[in-house]
């Protein structure tokens, strides 16, 4: 798997987990699925950061999104 793709997938999955946690807590449920999404997203992000030779900074994330979208739309 490409490092940029892993980073983008991790960020997207991690971002989708945030509303799930809020919803679970407001409904009085335990956030099982949201916790699983946090773990999966965090694992993808950790994989991407550890396998990229220079690592990723916060300023590199939009560039990674652009590269992934550009690669898969062309």
List, as one string, the DSSP characters of 12-24: HHHHHHHHHHHHH
Nearest CA to 64 out of 51, 18, 20, 39 is that of 51
**Confidence at 23, pLDDT banded by 50, 70, 90:** very high
Q: Can you tell me the mean pLDDT for 4-22?
A: 94
pLDDT, residue 62, reads: 93
* pLDDT exceeds cutoff 80 at 9: yes
Question: Which sequence spans correspond to the domains of the chain?
Answer: 3-73
Q: Can you tell me the mean pLDDT for 9-24?
A: 94
Interatomic CA distance for residues 1 and 71, integer angstroms: 14
Read off the pLDDT of residues 36-54 as tens digits, 9 standing for 90 and up.
999 999 999 999 999 988 8
């Amino acid at each position: 798997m490409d490092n940029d793709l892993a980073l983008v997938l991790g960020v997207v999955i991690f971002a989708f987990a945030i509303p799930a946690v809020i919803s679970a807590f407001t409904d009085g449920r335990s956030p099982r699925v949201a916790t699983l999404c946090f773990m999966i997203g965090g694992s993808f992000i950790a994989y991407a950061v550890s396998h990229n030779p220079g690592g990723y900074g916060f300023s590199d994330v939009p560039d990674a999104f652009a590269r992934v979208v550009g690669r898969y739309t062309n």
